[in-house]
Amino acid sequence: MKNVYIIDQYISSQYNGIGKFLSQVIYIFKHIPEINITVIEFNSLEKEFTIRKEKDVDYILFPQFNINYLNERSSVACQLLRLYIRDSADNIFFINHSPCENLVESLKNLFPLSKVVFIIHDLSWTAPLLGDVPQLMKILREQKNNDSKIVEDIKKTKQIFDQVDRIISLSKQTSNVLEKIYKISTDKIYYMSNYLIDSYKNILTREKNKLKEKYYIDGKEKVIIAVGRLTIPKGVPQLLNSFEKVLKKYSSCRLILVGNMFSPEEIFKLSKQFSSKITFTGQISHNELEKLYRIADIGVIPSYTEQCSYTGIEMLMHGLPIVASDGFGMQEMFQNDINARVAKIGNRKNKKEYEVNLTNSILELLFSDELCLRLSAGARMSYHRKYSVSHSIPSYSGLLVNL
C-alpha cells in the first residue's frame, strides 16, 4: 500500500494551473488500487490546524499565517506533520510549489525513508526571459551582475532538484533543459504530460447562438477566446496588437480574454481604440469557462512559455480551431496544420515579427471554414491520443512502481 501526500499552497493554487492539476491528480490516484491519498494544504481556509476526511481523501490543513510554510517555517510544519505521519518507504510526498528548498530539506531530514517528488509547473527564468533558452545559456555563461537574480534562482532550484528523489517534467523541452543546463541525471527525470477528463459537448448552431445571446454577443460575430493571466509572458500585449490589425480586415469578430489582469493600465492603453470588441471576464468558474469554450469559434494561445498548458488541452478537448505560438513548451503540443495554425515568435526582441505572424494566422482561420474544420478534427484527435485521462493511470502507475 502506497501513501501519497500531495503538498499544496492553497491561496496561490486558486490563481494558476496547479489548482486544476491537483483536482485531476486526485481523481487519477483514486483510480489506482492500493493507494492512500492525503492532501497537505498550507494556507488553507481553516482558522486552525485541522485534519478531516472527504470522499476517501484525507486532508491535513494548515491555517493562513503571515509565514512562508515552504521555506522560513518549513521545519516547524514538518515537525507537526511528523506527529501524524509515520515515516515509511511506502510514503511519497509530491511537492507542487517553488521556491521550497527548505521544505525539501526538512522532509528529507524528518522522513528519511520516504520519497519526495517535485513537479515542475514552471521554472523561475522562463517568464523574465520569455522562454528564451539560448539567452538563458548566455546569462549562465557570462554571469553579469544585472542577471544575478536569475542566476541565484537557478542555483536554488538546482538545490531542490539535487535533494528530491524524482522530478516530474510536464514538457520534453523542460526535460532537455534539466539534462543540459541543470545537469540532472536522466534517471531522476520522469516525463509525462498533464491530463484532463473529457467534458466536450457538441452543440447545434441554434444552441450556440442562444448561449451567445446570454453574453450579449451578436450571433454574426465570430468569437476568439484566449485564457490565462493577462501578462507579458502569456503574450497578451502581442495578441491585443494583432487583434487590432485583425479587426481592420475582419470586423465581425470579438475577443474574449479570460483571466486575471496584472497590469490594467497597460492592457487598457493597448486596447482603448477597440475596447468595444473585447470582453474581459477576469477569473471565472470552470462551468462558466466551459460555456465560453462552446460559443468560441477560434482559440488563441499566444504564450511565450508554458509547461503543459491546461488551456491548450482544454481547447484541444473542445475541438477548437487553434492559433498557437511556438514558444517554450508549446512546440510539442501544437503542430502546424495538424491541430493548430502555429504563429512563430521569431526574434523575441522584435515583437512586431510575432504580431504579424499572429495576425496572419488568426485571419487565415477567420476566412477559411475548411481550415477550421480540419484543425478542429485534428484538435480532438490530439486530445484523445495524448491528453485524455485514460493515458494518465499508466503514467502515474509507472512512476509509483519505480519509486
Per-residue pLDDT for 65 more than 90? no
What pLDDT is stored for residue 364 in this prediction? 98
Read off the pLDDT band of 184 (50, 70, 90).
very high
- Give 290-293's long-range contacts (Cβ < 8 A, gap of 24+): 290/199, 290/201, 291/211, 292/215, 292/225, 292/256, 292/258, 293/225, 293/318, 293/320
Is residue 117 within 8 A of residue 165, CB to CB? The reply is: yes
Residue 139 region by backbone torsions, left for phi larger than 0, else alpha for psi between -120 and 50, else beta: alpha
Is residue 169 within 8 A of residue 118, CB to CB? The reply is: no
Same-fold call for 2-195+389-401 versus 205-387 = yes
| End-to-end Cα distance, the chain | 13
What values do phi and psi take at 36, rounded to 5?
A: -100, 130
Q: Which residues contact 251 (CB under 8 A, 6 or more apart)?
A: none
Q: pLDDT tens digits for 325-378?
A: 999 999 999 999 999 999 999 999 999 999 999 999 999 999 999 999 999 999
What pLDDT is stored for residue 69 in this prediction? 82
Element (H, E) at 8: strand 2-9
Q: Which residues of 345-378 are buried (b: 16+ CB within 10 A; e: fewer)?
A: beebeebeebbbbbbebbbebbeeeeebeebbeb
When pLDDT is averaged across residues 237-260 and rounded to a whole number, the result is 97
What pLDDT is stored for residue 26 in this prediction? 95
What values do phi and psi take at 252, rounded to 5?
A: -90, 60
State how far Cα 32 lies from the chain centre. Answer: 24
The type of residue at 11 is: I
Listed residue (288, 287, 210) closest to 256, CA to CA: 288
Read off the pLDDT band of 160 (50, 70, 90).
very high
Q: pLDDT tens digits for 382-400?
A: 999 999 999 999 999 999 9
**What secondary structure letter does DSSP report for 386?**
I
Q: Burial, 32: exposed, middle or buried (Cβ in 10 Å; 0-12, 13-18, 19+)? A: middle
When pLDDT is averaged across residues 54-76 and rounded to a whole number, the result is 87
Listed residue (305, 262, 302, 263) closest to 135, CA to CA: 305
When pLDDT is averaged across residues 92-110 and rounded to a whole number, the result is 95
Q: What share of the chain is helix, strand, coil (3-state, %, to 5)?
A: 45, 20, 35
How far is Cα 286 from Cα 291, in angstroms, rounded to an integer?
Answer: 9
What pLDDT is stored for residue 71 in this prediction? 81
Read off the pLDDT band of 402 (50, 70, 90).
confident
When pLDDT is averaged across residues 171-177 and rounded to a whole number, the result is 96
Task: Report, at the CATH architecture level, how domain 2-195+389-401 is classified.
Answer: 3-Layer(aba) Sandwich (3.40)
How far is Cα 5 from Cα 387, in angstroms, rounded to an integer?
Answer: 24
Q: What is the pTM of this model?
A: 0.94
Of 84 and 262, which is predicted with more confidence? Answer: 84
For 50-132, where are the alpha helices, taking DSSP H only?
Answer: 74-82, 101-110
Read off the pLDDT band of 299 (50, 70, 90).
very high
Q: Cell for 302?
A: 499566444
Distances (CA, A) of 343 to 194, 247, 322, 359, 369: 23, 18, 10, 9, 19
Q: pLDDT tens digits for 117-158?
A: 999 999 999 999 999 999 999 999 988 777 889 999 999 999
What pLDDT is stored for residue 70 in this prediction? 84
What pLDDT is stored for residue 219 in this prediction? 87
Q: pLDDT tens digits for 251-297?
A: 999 999 999 998 899 999 999 999 999 999 999 999 999 999 999 99
Q: For 236-369, list the strands marked E by DSSP.
A: 253-258, 278-282, 298-301, 322-325, 341-343
Residue-averaged pLDDT of the chain: 94
* 3 state SS of 261: strand
Ranges of each domain in the chain: 2-195+389-401, 205-387
CATH topology of domain 205-387: Rossmann fold (3.40.50)
- Give Dmax over CA atoms of the chain in angstroms: 65
What share of the chain in percent tops pLDDT 70? 100
What pLDDT is stored for residue 16 in this prediction? 79
**What secondary structure letter does DSSP report for 62?**
P
Q: Burial, 326: exposed, middle or buried (Cβ in 10 Å; 0-12, 13-18, 19+)? A: middle
Q: pLDDT tens digits for 199-235?
A: 999 888 889 999 999 999 998 999 999 999 999 999 9
